[in-house]
Amino acid sequence: MSDLTELYQQTIIDHNRTPRNFKKVDDANRVAQGNNPLCGDRITLYLRLDGDVIRDIGFQGSGCAISQASASLMTGAVQGKTKAEAEGLFRAFHDMVAGGANAPADPKSLGKLAAFAGVRQFPARVKCANLSWHTLKAALAAAAEPVTTE
Amino acid sequence: MAERGRVTTVQRASPSSPAARPGLDVAALRADFPLLAQRMHGKPLVYLDNAATSQKPRAVIEAISRYYETSNANVHRGVYALSERATAAYEGVRERARVFLNAREAREIVFVRGTTEGVNLVASSFGRTNLRPGDEVLVSAMEHHSNIVPWQMICEERGASLRVIPMNRAGELLQDEYERLLTDRTKIVALVHVSNSLGTINPIQQMVASAHARGIPVLVDGAQAAPHMPVDVQALDCDFYTVSGHKMFGPTGIGVLYGKATRLEAMPPYQGGGDMIKTVTFAKTSFADLPAKFEAGTPHIAGAVGLGAAIDYLGRLDWRRVAEHEADLLAYAAARLQAVPGIRLVGTAAHKASVISFVVEGVHAHDVGTVVDQEGVAIRTGHHCTQPVMDFFGVPATARASFAFYNTREDADALVAALAKVRKVFG
């Protein structure tokens, strides 16, 4: 069970059960959709960009615990951040779970997002963790097509 | 349906395995499958994803090795002995596949990559010549994507439309609705024999008879039926029947499309290339006779040889005892799962193969799959390439345990024990 508790950390269980920012942002000026065809995870992400700053963010959707907790924690992490800061977090998070040059030496430097460090041992679940972040990237780039992890 | 002359070779009761009903020596059968003996995450592997692909008996693995070590050459080409040996091996499997499905003639057996290619072949070739604007193709609500998408594609190309036979909450097709949907516009019916996500066994013989009463041909997706029951295409009287080798204990990349000779003869080739021609000039090509017309290019010869070994292996089983054993596994596993609080079965048809889809209240199927995997239990989670079925039952995904004859009651116990860990993690 040691591997499992690495994956399903209490923070993740908690955010899955009670997702934060689970809302439609009525005055959103960016909306993006993401889906993971493998397990049917779907999210819709709403952003209100004020110049370069993410003033408000919310998401709706359904999916596995990893995808839902990731969306919840992502929205908390990027709220109030600039586009550039959010993109920096995207790279650090992505590389922490998927392996890559931008992985932080100490996941704790990412705060609560460090809860996803264990995902790296579960390659089949990396897409679940990354879904909301890819959707964020699409929203920031104002992409018209829904993003998919496939 | 016919017993295909299967002989009883496994008759001893198995006192060491309370899972097996007297008659089927599951321990002996398991010993034929090398992969099943391994451990996963430190636990004995419990393989319950047979509907995705089945494991291979040593006889199949060795037949493929032996073919490459002793008989490899291209088929239908060389005048030398080795090529004749390869051709004899390949064509020999066609004859065994004929017996396996009880087709009338070996030329009614076309080798394909699998069920998906079998459906695509018919959708493309039959569809292109028979579908006109306003025509309809009838499929069922429980089809695998591979028996939906090829028809959608050809319908779009031909201006035809796809109609769907609805089902009830148990996962049984509504036969009255089916009768109503069969009209003069219906040009072909494409039906799954055994549902991969619900386990439902459809009354194919009766449904074929209804379609034939109106002169409508029927294609049957038999991918999930072949590993669970003898198939007799003459008894079913279907026009096309297609199976995948890898789901019936053979290799991946090889399957069979059966088609009535009259149907296949009336259809144009699916792909062009070598081996499917009589003569070629730049002005005109004349096509080969059945079945070569539908087998362009060098086929998967070794795969066919492996499939032949799988057919031989299945032919040695006592299918009455296999059926009893699988029925026992289904009843036992379903009862044990239903006794777990928060578990709901999806697909409760009266007539079912040993496939059990379920959802765990409050926990996504994907999380269920990851947790039970840590206990060595391999199940499928997701939509199982049947998204319309998931939509019908209002679930994003299900977990699915699919049992083969080599599974035991202990495997079901291991699944239920692993599901207790799901509650431990998710509360």
B291 preceded by a cis bond (ω within 30 of 0): yes
Mean pLDDT of the B374-378 span: 97
- Whether B365 has a pLDDT exceeding 50, the answer reads yes
Closest to B163 in 3D by CA, of B146, B174, B148, B144: B148
Average pLDDT of span B327-343: 97
Q: Does residue B10 carry a pLDDT above 60?
A: no
Dihedral pair phi/psi, residue A13, rounded to 5°: -60, -45
What pLDDT, on a 0 to 100 scale, did the predictor assign at position A41? 86
Q: Which two tokens stand for residue B98?
A: 């004929």
Residues of B involved in catalysis: 385
ipTM of the complex: 0.89
Q: Check CB contact under 8 Å for A125 and B366.
A: yes
More confident site: B76 or B32: B32
- Per-residue 3-state assignment (H helix, E strand, C coil) for B348-393: CCCCECCEEEEEECCECHHHHHHHHHCCCEECEEECCCCHHHHHHH
Half-sphere exposure of B264 (CA within 13 A, CB side): 25
Cα separation, A26 vs A5, whole angstroms: 37
Say which range, A30-44, B263-277, B304-318, has the weakest mean pLDDT: A30-44
Give the CA distances from residue B335 to residues B3, B292, B328, B329, B421, in Å, rounded to whole numbers and listed in that order.
Answer: 30, 49, 11, 10, 19
Q: Cβ–Cβ of A40/B374 closer than 8 Å?
A: no
pLDDT at residue B6 tops 90: no
- Mean local confidence (pLDDT), B251-271: 97
Residue that wins the pLDDT comparison between A36 and B134: B134
Q: Are A66 and B426 inside 8 Å of each other by CB? A: no
- Mean of pLDDT values over B44-70: 98
Q: Which residue has the higher pLDDT, B227 or B5?
A: B227
Phi-psi region of B350 (alpha: psi -120 to 50; beta: other; left: phi over 0): alpha
Q: What integer is the mean pLDDT of B283-311?
A: 96
Least confident of A64-78, B83-97, B382-396: B382-396
Averaged pLDDT, A108-115 = 94
pLDDT band at B388 (very low <50, low <70, confident <90, very high): very high
Q: Is residue B13 predicted with pLDDT exceeding 90?
A: no
Site from B361, B366, B400, B419 to mutate, A interface, most A CB atoms within 10 angstroms: B366
Answer whether B381 touches A (CB < 8 Å): yes
Q: Which of B190, B221, B214 is nearest to B114 (CA)?
A: B221
> Region B322-335: what's the mean pLDDT?
98
Percent of chain B clearing pLDDT 90 (strictly above): 91
Distance CA B14, CA B411 (A): 16
Calpha distance A111→A115 (Å, rounded) = 8
Q: How confident is the model at residue A100 (pLDDT cuts 50, 70, 90)?
A: confident
